[in-house]
């Protein structure tokens, strides 16, 4: 494949990973617990697009985007009711445990309905290449990059520039204090989960659009986001998205030389090194725990 | 409800054994009437072994490991590879147990010292790597049944099933005896409050590692038996299906109870077989079981049964027994000495080149405005965030870079701004755990169950004398979580005394106390000093300190700006300036 094409595709994959990690770390900060269903929510979103395309084959993928976002928001809100978030006597580990169960359920539902073989989703607009600098570059990859470039700053603006976003962050950082200030932390947790789930769904659709998707990908996508958070520093939003973005070119580069599994090995060893020698991560923890 | 350490009603073994025995009898009846009965019975035994192993880390230590399925697969893979090349079971089985344990110790173990929220990550990563490795190497088919040397073996069938349950029975016995030894008892403190565990000298990281290695060994054993039973190893043995089944069985039966592991496993194995649920649908059912159990059966079936039929025995308060004194040691120089210690957080210098000395019987009050570095100083002394430069000596021994649990053992006990206690344990057992931990948290204690029992009886009696010293005897049986804030402070002091310390460091002990409680506290602190202990008391209440302190030290922006007799320090213009805000200097920490 042409080098430029390869680079653009790697960047597009990185953009998808960044979106996945972004949703993961937002939920992490909002709930104070790890959402182990996040990877399966990504594949679920991807398969929603696959299903929608098989019902309405004439429509372009981009038309499904708002529908999938809406469906994922509903799923996220349902999830908030299902997980024992700040339930009396429930530890943060219990939230993770419940989310692990939800993830297993989602993955099994997808497997039963679609099988485990990787499939491709609908194209956002139209497949094919456009000419760029004399070589063909995938239109889908450029569109994915474009979507991510719009979404990441939009999420940043939402969290930092709107009253609702600030309440969301406050509720995540110090639930007790936020509650004392009149913020309904339960509703905020639900909103955070909805936002994270929307991001997961959109990422899943983009992944299915250019690359392929399988119910088996869930844990792998989760692991990538989780590793990105650990390397960046616990709770670092921008850092996690950046690290996740960088994993994709590494994977692409390694895959051109040897099997893709080696890239997973490298990333995991990097993680262990970080945890052993620099457990604060690259940018330090964003959320300080009180002694 | 007050849980005793160990919390297993060990005085009612028969009552505890009833639910798992009933479950096994039901399994036997079901299997006898079923054409595939032997296989179902063996499968239940294999999963029971897997689940009981998982409980060491998931239940007892409260860490959500996602690698149990991978250890199962690793055990299956190792024994299948070796068995297909002709090696007998007595060789393959031990290797299938040891190898996962080694992987657990070497790859995952070191990271377990970190915060518990990294546990799912590291274990998930390990599981994914192993899965990929197996996917790439392909599965293994035609694994023989169990073969001993010289052509003797066990064909798949009823005898195989009994053999599986023999091994599972051995695993149950080991787990059962561990739960009433130090490991089981201390695990409750580690799970409940890692800071409290460190404060009584327990190494939470080491205990997590021990639990994790054990769980991996059990997982490997279960996987090996599974490979011999099914005759094949596939990627499915490594992945999500095994993991979610294991989690569901443990959660349904009861996470912390060996009998619960058996009950949950048998219930789900029978339910899945009776409904004929296809393999692809099973994770949905298992996931739902986890969600339902989390909401309505937080302690599992076994916990619900226990609450109904066998409420935990009331902790009987033993007669107080004095703590044997620390072996006397001649100390040259001060009891505690800090020499030029500095602690930075990024660009902030929270503690800046501080030197202090503390003599026996002395109360050193530490004052300073908010954010002047008082708590950081205590954290640096007690090993929670060690000094980056400078040295700390306790009775002449360099303790600068010791972890908190070793500092506590060395003789520097501390209290926290917010009392850190194992809330589910009784007041008495919070202190008794400290006594027992000091005597030895060795893993070898598994072989000395009777000794452990007497050691704990002694620890409780000694703990009573500590409670007596702080007037908490009446609340001995109350769970620490239900104590008033003032009583929680007292309990922290009793726990510190149980360590037989040379020095006790207090972080704002008078905050939130009323006048009477303060006077009581002041009397208690003076008593401790009169016994020859050195006390460091960080406090905002200058009046409180003025009444008890031999000397005061004042911090501002991480620096020691004055130290000496209380009146001299309080009249020092630098101190007044610091408090009135004349020195709004940079470098302060939040």
* Closest listed residue to residue A28, CA positions, set A232, A234, A284: A234
Chain A residues whose beta carbon lies within 8 Å of the beta carbon of residue B298: 89-90
User: Would you call A273 an interface residue with chain B, using a CB distance cutoff of 8 Å?
Assistant: no
Up-side HSE of residue B406: CA atoms within 13 Å toward CB? 11
Nearest chain A CA: its distance from B328 CA (Å): 33
Percent of chain B whose pLDDT exceeds 70? 90
Q: What pLDDT, on the 0 to 100 scale, is given for residue B534?
A: 93
Q: Is the pLDDT of residue B314 over 80?
A: no
The candidate with the shortest Cα–Cα distance to A92, out of A31, A39, A40, A38, is: A31
Q: Is B135 helix (H, G, I), strand (E, B) or coil?
A: helix
Residue B4: is its pLDDT beyond 50? no
CATH numbers and ranges of domains, chain B: 13-309 (1.10.3470), 335-411+503-590 (3.40.50.300), 424-500 (no CATH)
Q: Give yes or no for residue B277 having a pLDDT over 80.
A: yes
Chain A residues near residue B122 by CB distance under 8 angstroms = 271-272, 275
| Mean pLDDT in residue range B178-193 | 78
Q: What is the pLDDT of residue A204?
A: 94
Which residues of chain B neighbour A275 with C-beta distances below 8 Å? 111, 114, 118, 122
Residue of chain B whose Cα is closest to the Cα of A266? B129
Which chain B positions have a beta carbon within 8 Å of A94's beta carbon?
294
Contacts 24+ apart (CB under 8 A), B558-563: B558/B349, B558/B350, B558/B351, B558/B352, B558/B354, B558/B372, B558/B373, B558/B376, B558/B587, B558/B588, B558/B589, B559/B352, B559/B353, B559/B354, B560/B354, B560/B355, B560/B356, B563/B356
Tokens of B235: 């990627």
Which residues in chain B are contacts of A264 at CB distance < 8 A? 128-129, 132
pLDDT in tens, B114-131: 666 788 888 888 888 888
Reported confidence tier of residue B312, pLDDT bands at 50, 70, 90: low
pLDDT of residue B3: 43
* Helix/strand/coil for B321: coil
Lowest mean pLDDT among A61-65, A166-170, B183-187, B393-397: B183-187
Rounded CA gap, B164 and B43, in Å? Answer: 9
The helix/strand/coil state of B329 is: coil
Q: Mean pLDDT for each 10-residue chunk of chain A (291 residues)?
A: 81 92 89 91 95 87 89 93 74 88 96 89 72 73 86 83 83 78 81 93 90 89 90 83 90 82 82 79 60 32
Nearest chain A residue to B135 by CA: give it.
A261
Between the CA of residue B523 and those of B74, B520, B549, what are the distances in Å?
61, 5, 12
Give the distance, in angstroms, between the CA of residue B413 and the centroid of all CA atoms in the same chain. Answer: 19
Token representation of residue B20: 């798992």
Q: How far apart are CA B583 and CA B569, in angstroms?
A: 17
Residue B586: band (very low, low, confident or very high) from pLDDT cuts 50, 70, 90: very low
State the pLDDT confidence band at B204, using cuts at 50, 70 and 90: confident
CA distances from B445 to A161, A246, B24, B102, B179 (A): 58, 49, 30, 22, 11
A272 reaches B (C-beta below 8 A): yes
Q: Indicate the length of chain A as a whole number.
A: 291
Contact B287 A108 (CB under 8 A): yes
Contact A108 B280 (CB under 8 A): yes
Of B96, B112, B107, the C-alpha closest to B50 is: B96
Terminal alpha carbon distance of chain A: 54
Chain A 190-249, residues with CB within 8 Å of chain B CB atoms: 219-220, 222-223, 226-227, 230, 234
> Contact at 8 Å (CB) between B354 and B337?
no
**Burial level of B451, CB count in 10 A (0-12/13-18/19+)?**
exposed
Residues A124, A289: Cα–Cα separation, whole Å: 42
Cβ within 8 Å of residue A268, ≥6 positions away? A227, B125, B126, B128, B129
In order of their start, the domains of chain A are 3-126+137-277 (1.10.3470)
In whole angstroms, give the CA distance from residue B295 to residue B184: 26
Residues written for chain B: 590
pLDDT of A238 = 83
Euclidean distance between CA atoms B366 and A102, whole angstroms: 51
* Residue A149: closest CA among A160, A141, A139: A141
| pLDDT at site B554 | 93
Instruction: Give yes or no for A268 touching B (CB within 8 A).
Output: yes
Which of A21, A43, A108, A218 to mutate: most B Cβ within 10 Å?
A108
Share of residues in chain B with pLDDT > 90 (%)? 41
A156 by Cβ neighbours in 10 Å (0-12 / 13-18 / 19+) ranks as middle
- What is the arrangement of strands in the sheet containing B348-358, beginning at the earlier edge strand? B348-358, B336-345, B389-394, B397-398
Residue to test with chain B: of A79, A95, A105, most B Cβ within 10 A = A105
Give me the interface pTM, i.e. the ipTM. Answer: 0.91
Name which of B134, B153, B140, B174 is nearest B49 in CA terms. B174
Tell me how close the Cα of A124 comes to any Cα of chain B, in angstroms.
31
Query: What's the confidence (pLDDT) of residue B41?
Result: 95
Q: Is the distance from CB of B26 to CB of B270 less than 8 angstroms?
A: yes
pLDDT in tens, B491-536: 999 999 998 899 999 999 888 888 888 898 999 999 999 988 999 9
Q: What is the mean pLDDT of residues B558-579?
A: 89
């Amino acid at each position: 494949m042409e080098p430029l094409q390869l680079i653009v595709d790697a960047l597009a994959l990185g953009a998808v990973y960044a979106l996945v990690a972004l949703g993961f770390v937002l939920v992490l900060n909002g709930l104070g617990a790890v959402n182990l269903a996040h990877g399966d929510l990504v594949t679920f979103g991807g398969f929603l697009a696959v299903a929608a395309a098989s019902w309405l084959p004439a429509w372009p993928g981009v038309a499904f985007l708002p529908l999938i976002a809406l469906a994922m928001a509903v799923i996220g809100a349902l999830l908030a009711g299902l997980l024992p978030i700040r339930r009396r006597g429930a530890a943060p580990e219990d939230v993770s445990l419940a989310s692990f169960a939800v993830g297993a359920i989602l993955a099994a539902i997808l497997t039963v309905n679609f099988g485990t073989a990787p499939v491709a989703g609908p194209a956002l607009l139209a497949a094919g290449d456009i000419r760029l600098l004399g070589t063909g570059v995938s239109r889908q990859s450029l569109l994915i990059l474009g979507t991510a470039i719009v979404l990441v700053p939009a999420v940043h603006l939402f969290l930092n520039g709107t009253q609702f976003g600030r309440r969301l962050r406050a509720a995540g950082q110090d639930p007790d204090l936020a509650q004392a200030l009149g913020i309904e932390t339960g509703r905020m947790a639900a909103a955070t989960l909805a936002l994270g789930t929307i991001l997961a769904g959109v990422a899943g659709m983009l992944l299915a659009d250019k690359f392929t998707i399988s119910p088996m990908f869930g844990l792998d996508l989760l692991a990538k986001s989780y590793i990105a958070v650990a390397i960046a520093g616990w709770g670092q939003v921008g850092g996690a998205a950046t690290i996740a973005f960088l994993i994709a070119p590494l994977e692409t580069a390694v895959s051109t030389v040897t099997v893709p599994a080696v890239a997973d090995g490298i990333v995991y060893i990097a993680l262990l090194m970080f945890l052993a020698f620099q457990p604060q991560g690259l940018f330090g923890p964003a959320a300080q725990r009180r002694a | 409800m007050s849980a005793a350490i160990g919390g297993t009603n060990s005085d009612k073994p028969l009552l505890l054994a009833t639910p798992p025995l009933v479950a096994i009898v039901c399994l036997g009846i079901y299997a006898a009437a079923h054409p595939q009965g032997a296989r179902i019975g063996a499968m239940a035994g294999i999963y029971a072994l897997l689940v009981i192993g998982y409980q060491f880390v998931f239940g007892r230590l409260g860490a959500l490991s996602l690698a149990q399925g991978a250890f199962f697969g690793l055990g299956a893979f190792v024994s299948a590879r070796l068995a297909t090349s002709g090696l007998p079971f007595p060789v393959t089985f031990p290797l299938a147990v040891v190898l996962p344990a080694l992987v657990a110790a070497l790859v995952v173990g070191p990271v377990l010292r970190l915060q518990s929220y990294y546990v799912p990550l590291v274990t998930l990563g390990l599981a994914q790597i192993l899965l990929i490795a197996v996917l790439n190497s392909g599965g293994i088919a035609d694994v023989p049944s169990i073969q001993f040397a010289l052509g003797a073996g066990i064909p798949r069938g009823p005898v195989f099933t009994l053999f599986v349950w023999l091994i599972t029975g051995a695993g149950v016995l080991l787990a059962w005896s561990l739960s009433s030894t130090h490991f089981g008892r201390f695990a409750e403190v580690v799970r409940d409050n890692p800071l409290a565990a460190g404060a009584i000298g327990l190494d939470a990281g080491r205990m997590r590692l021990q639990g994790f290695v054990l769980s991996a060994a059990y997982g490997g054993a279960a996987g090996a038996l599974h490979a011999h039973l099914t005759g094949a190893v596939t990627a499915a043995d490594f992945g999500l299906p095994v993991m979610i089944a294991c989690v569901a069985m443990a959660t349904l039966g009861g996470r912390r109870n060996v009998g619960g592991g058996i009950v949950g496993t048998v219930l789900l194995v029978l339910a899945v077989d009776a409904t004929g649920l296809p393999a692809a649908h099973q994770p949905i059912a298992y996931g739902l079981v986890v969600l339902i159990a989390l909401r309505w059966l937080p302690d599992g079936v076994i916990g619900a049964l226990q609450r109904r039929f066998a409420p935990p025995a009331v902790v009987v308060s033993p007669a107080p027994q004095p703590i044997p004194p620390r072996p006397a040691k001649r100390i040259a120089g001060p009891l505690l000495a800090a020499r030029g210690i500095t602690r930075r957080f990024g660009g902030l210098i929270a503690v800046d080149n501080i030197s202090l000395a503390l003599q026996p019987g002395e109360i050193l009050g530490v004052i300073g405005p908010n954010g002047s570095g008082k708590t950081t100083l205590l954290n640096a002394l007690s090993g929670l965030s060690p000094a980056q430069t400078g040295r700390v000596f306790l009775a002449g021994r360099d303790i600068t870079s010791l972890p908190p649990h070793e500092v506590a053992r060395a003789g520097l006990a501390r209290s926290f701004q917010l009392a850190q206690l194992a809330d589910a344990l009784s007041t008495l057992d919070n202190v008794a755990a400290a006594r027992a931990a000091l005597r030895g948290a060795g893993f070898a204690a598994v072989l000395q169950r009777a000794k452990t029992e007497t050691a704990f009886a002694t620890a409780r009696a000694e703990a009573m004398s500590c409670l007596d010293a702080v007037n908490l005897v009446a609340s001995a049986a109350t769970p620490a979580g239900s104590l008033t804030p003032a009583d929680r402070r007292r309990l922290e002091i009793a726990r510190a005394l149980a360590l037989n310390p040379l020095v006790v460091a207090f972080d704002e002990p008078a905050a939130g106390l009323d006048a009477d409680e303060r006077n009581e506290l002041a009397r208690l602190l003076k008593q401790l000093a009169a016994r020859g202990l050195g006390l460091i008391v960080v406090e905002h209440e200058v009046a409180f300190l003025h009444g008890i302190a031999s000397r005061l030290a004042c911090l501002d922006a991480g620096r020691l700006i004055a130290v000496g007799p209380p009146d001299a320090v309080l009249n020092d213009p630098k101190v007044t300036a610091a408090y009135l805000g004349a020195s709004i200097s940079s470098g302060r920490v939040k």
